[in-house]
Structure 1
Amino acid sequence: MDIALPELEHISRQLASLERPKKPKMLVVDDEPDNLDLLYRTFRRDFNVLRAESGVMALEVLAAEGEVAVIISDQRMPEMKGTEFLSKTVPQFPDTMRIILTGFTDVEDLVDAINSGQVYKYITKPWDPNELKAVVQRAVETYDVQKHRTEELRRAQSQTILLGTLVKVTQEATGLEQALEAIAKTFGETYEADGCTLQLVEAGKPGTLQGNYGTALPSLGDDPVVQEAIATQKPQVKVNESAEEGVLAHLVLPVLFQSASIAVLSLRWGKPFSLQEDELLRLYLAAQQIALALTCVRFGQDWRVAA
């Protein structure tokens, strides 16, 4: 069951090669068009800059565009103050960095907003472009760190759910087909795959029993990546392999029991999806728990028939 680090590193690099650097998103909010234009010109080279002339419009932009790395908002605007607008963005976008521009001494509003974590920094008008750029740079770095931590926590929680599902399948599944479907669904959801297949191996080839989640491939038996995973008993990956079928990355993990491949787990993504080496190792080890779950289900099935 040992997997050499260079193999995991190779797979991680292959998946990472699909990631194309993208400009982070920024939302600038000000009721003065000249200020909006100035902010846009200041940051357009490094950011995908979205604009809004009020807090209400800014909320609509976020609803349509999703999370942004940084919001820069004027404090004094009609209808809604900047701090009020920013407070409304916290529940849905907790990792976003929020910066207030103010030409007034609204000490109470600003102190409350900063203390409650709604505002990362405030800048007084007229602002110095270099100072603002430096503040935004630090804000983006903080955003990246927070997103990484949030993603790590989410994946750790998903891993716990995944292992819990394997235990539940072991205890409750009444047959192999039901178990295969439940396990494929859980792995597919945990790793945000567009398609996931768990298929039993018979005589060294993918057999007839399988469980599917999402978009299924016509046949795993004809796939050289699957054949290689079974033959070598090691994870295999292929990127950009089936563009016409919407498969950008295909990761295949052999499921081993007593030094034999008893099943293969196929995860497929139609969009860039990266996994670090430690995440790949956890995924591989979780896949090996499938062998125990399937063996228990098969034993339980045989036991019920005998009884």
Structure 2
Amino acid sequence: MSLNRPKKPKMLVVDDEPDNLDLLYRTFRRNFNVFKAESGIRALEILEAEGEVAVIISDQRMPEMKGTEFLSKTVRSFPNTVRIILTGFTDIEDLVDAINSGQVYKYITKPWDPNELKTVVQRAAETYELLNQRTAELQYAQKQTRLLGTIMQVAQESQPLAASFTAMATAIGENFQTDVCILQQTSENTLTTVEGIYSSSGTAENWLSDDPLVTAALSTGNIQASINIPRDGAISEVQHYQTSEIQSHITIPVSFREKNVALLSLQWKQPCQLTPEELDPLECVAQAIALVLVSVNLDVSA
């Protein structure tokens, strides 16, 4: 059983009255990592230092800067943060404008009921998590679309085969944030001299012909991986892993009509941080590579 506790979401509470500020802090400190600010100016400083928070609760009537004015300054940098206004006055015009422009999620009138405010904040935190999830999914889908577009664009360009391999390895390596990405042609399940290499550091050694994961991938036609090589007794003693500092390696056979035509190698110098969902598109990427290799007249029919 893990003893690690879930990380508390961050909250910022803003009020020029110390008693109200302390009350807000005590109300939410159990479930949130709460930051306090006595003014909008100070709140902006905290956000600059701490980064995005899940929820902001701000008083409306404060000297120097009204709550709605402060919140409007946070929208561009932190679009997913959920904002709540506390008001004891009937500033309807300000509040309506703020809500209509997406700057405020909800307003609560003073004196506020603790249970009501807790319910609103809980829903706000859930909204924040949902927004973050949808934003991440959209960004991921856009990245995959761009990657596949780049791979298919290679097929439309007239360039030497090695240059095509390099262009595809670079696009894949950058997309998956690898330290090294190698795309290498195969013939009869043996690696050939045609290769494309991407390295985040600018240089990389190609030892794939001596790698047990590559041998298994080509012989079985299935993806082979070790996501934490130092703890993998089967390959941790292989010399090139010790000298190259590679700690995770995924090898994907690229096949056309059940015949291997290339081998894709993704390498990181730390245990793989990608989730299974993020790795799922690798098979689609391999299929796209196979189509590109066919289109650039690589002999895959023999």
CA distance in 2, matches of 1:35, 1:223: 64
Contact 1:71 1:99 (8 Å CA) reproduced? yes
Higher relative contact order (CA 8 A, sep 6+): 1
Q: Percent identity?
A: 55
Note the C-alpha offset of 1:164: 1.5
Q: Which has the larger radius of gyration?
A: 2
Could you tell me which amino acid in structure 1 is paired with residue 8 of structure 2? K
2:132 to 124, 130, 147: 147
- More deviation, 243-252/194-203: 243-252
Query: 126, 130, 141: which one pairs with 2:115?
Result: 130
Separation (CA, whole Å) in 2 of partners of 1:269 and 1:146: 32
Q: Spell out the pairing of 1:87-126 with structure 2 (5 A cutoff).
A: 87-126=72-111
Residue 287 to residue 299, structure 1, CA distance change in 2 (3 Å): closer
CA displacement, residues 37-84 of structure 1 (integer Å, 9 cap, x when unaligned):
333333233223233332223223323333222111221222221111
Match among 229, 233, 240 for residue 241 of structure 1: 229
The alignment partner of 2:227 has SS state of strand
Structure 1's unaligned 5+ residue stretches are: 1-16, 301-307
Aligned match of 1:229: 217
Give the letter for the 1:101 counterpart.
L
Structure 1 pair 75–225 and aligned structure 2 pair: CA distance change class (3 A): farther
**After TM superposition, where is structure 1 displaced by more than 6 Å over at least 4 residues in a row?**
243-248
Normalised TM-score (structure 2): 0.77
1:254 has 2:253 as partner: yes
What is the alpha-carbon distance in structure 2 between the residues aligned to residue 213 and residue 60 of structure 1?
38
- Match of residue 7 from structure 1: none
When normalised by structure 1's length, the TM-score is 0.76
What residue number does 2:51 align with? Answer: 66
Q: How far 1:146 sits from its partner (Å)?
A: 1.9
Change (3 A) 1:44 1:114: same
Match of 1:31, SS state, is coil
Report the residue type matching 1:30 in the other structure: D
Q: How far does residue 163 in structure 1 lie from its aligned partner after superposition? A: 1.8
Aligned-residue Cα RMSD (Å) equals 3.3
CA distance in 2, matches of 1:214, 1:20: 35
- Asked if structure 2 preserves the Cα contact closer than 8 Å seen for 1:230 and 1:264, the reply is no
Map of 1:163 onto structure 2: 148
When residues 260 and 106 of structure 1 are mapped into structure 2, their CA distance, relative to the original with a 3 A threshold, is same
Matches within 5 A, 1:1-307: 21-172=6-157, 174-191=159-176, 193-202=177-186, 204=189, 209-214=195-200, 218-219=205-206, 221=208, 223-242=211-230, 250-261=249-260, 262-266=262-266, 268=268, 270=270, 272-276=273-277, 280-297=279-296, 299=298
Partners of 1:106 and 1:259 lie apart in 2 by: 69
Q: Determine if contact 1:27/1:68 at 8 Å carries over to the other structure.
A: yes
Per-residue CA deviations over 1:243-278 (Å, capped at 9, x if unaligned) read: 9988775443322233233111415485743243xx
Q: 1 CA distance for matches of 2:96 and 2:115?
A: 24
The amino acid that maps onto 1:43 is: F
Q: 1:57 to 1:219 in 2, by over 3 A?
A: farther
Secondary structure, aligned partner of 1:89: coil
Q: How many residues align?
A: 280
What is the rounded CA distance, in whole Å, between the counterparts of 1:22 and 1:207 in structure 2? 49
Contact in 1 for aligned 2:166/2:183 (Cα 8 Å):
no
Task: Tell me the distance in 2 between the aligned counterparts of 1:110 and 1:152.
Answer: 32
Work out the CA distance in 2 between the residues paired with 1:20 and 1:269.
Answer: 28
**Which digits, 9 at most, give the CA deviation of each residue in 1:167-192, with x for residues without a partner?**
2212226233432332233223434x
